[in-house]
Amino acid sequence: MRPRRLSDVVVLPLNFTVRPLQTVSERLTIRPILRSDYDRWRPLWDGYNAFYERRGSTALPEEITQATWERFFDSSEPVKAIVAEESDHLVGLAHYVFHRSTTRLHDICYLQDLFTAEHVRGRGIGRRLIEAVYEAARNGRCSRVYWQTQATNRAGRALYDKLGMHLGFIVYSHEL
């Protein structure tokens, strides 16, 4: 039933209930990944890869997943990982890489992977993960954070348009 408007007052039907706005909860923590997170991280990683059509016959080889996981804990590696945790469940991940640039004096940060569990999307967790990557990049003395996504990722792009600037580049790739 729709509310009826009487001048500046909104009259709601008696059976109307106010639902709380689904936003990031106070129980959400963004933190570096821990070795003990593997069993909770893996479903997010698999979900991320499935989103980009890497599943079944096109799935990443297990050795890539294992090498990626190990890189997070190797201090000589530039690959880092953070997770979003809520009520003892991992609900999001971000993987990022600090690297040199030929156009900057300081390193830059590539936000390589960003994923939130489907049941928590739209609550601001992706935003919080990106902002945490921004903070890590600042702390690492990086001068820029950048990322890419598929043109068809409308929900992601709606968020990214608020947090970054699309510079118009098109990505090319050649497998070796």
Q: What is the pLDDT of residues 119-172, one digit of tens each?
A: 999 999 999 999 999 999 999 999 999 999 989 999 999 999 999 999 988 889
Nearest residue to 149 (alpha-carbon basis) of 123, 122, 97, 114: 114
Tokens found for residue 150:
């598929």
Identity at 130, one-letter amino acid code? I
Comparing 115 with 14, the larger pLDDT belongs to 115
Q: What is the pLDDT of residues 68-112, one digit of tens each?
A: 999 999 999 999 999 999 999 999 999 999 999 999 999 999 999
Model confidence, pTM: 0.83
Tokens found for residue 131:
């902002």
**109/21 Cα distance (integer angstroms):** 33
Q: Which domains does the chain have, with CATH numbers?
A: 25-163 (3.40.630.30)
Three-state secondary structure call for residue 155? helix
Contact 171, 112 (CB under 8 A): no
**5/35 Cα distance (integer angstroms):** 56
**97/148 Cα distance (integer angstroms):** 13
Three-state secondary structure call for residue 49? helix
Q: What is the pLDDT of residues 8-28, one digit of tens each?
A: 444 444 444 443 444 556 789
| Angstrom distances, CA of residue 101 to CA of 50, 95, 98, 175 | 31, 19, 10, 22
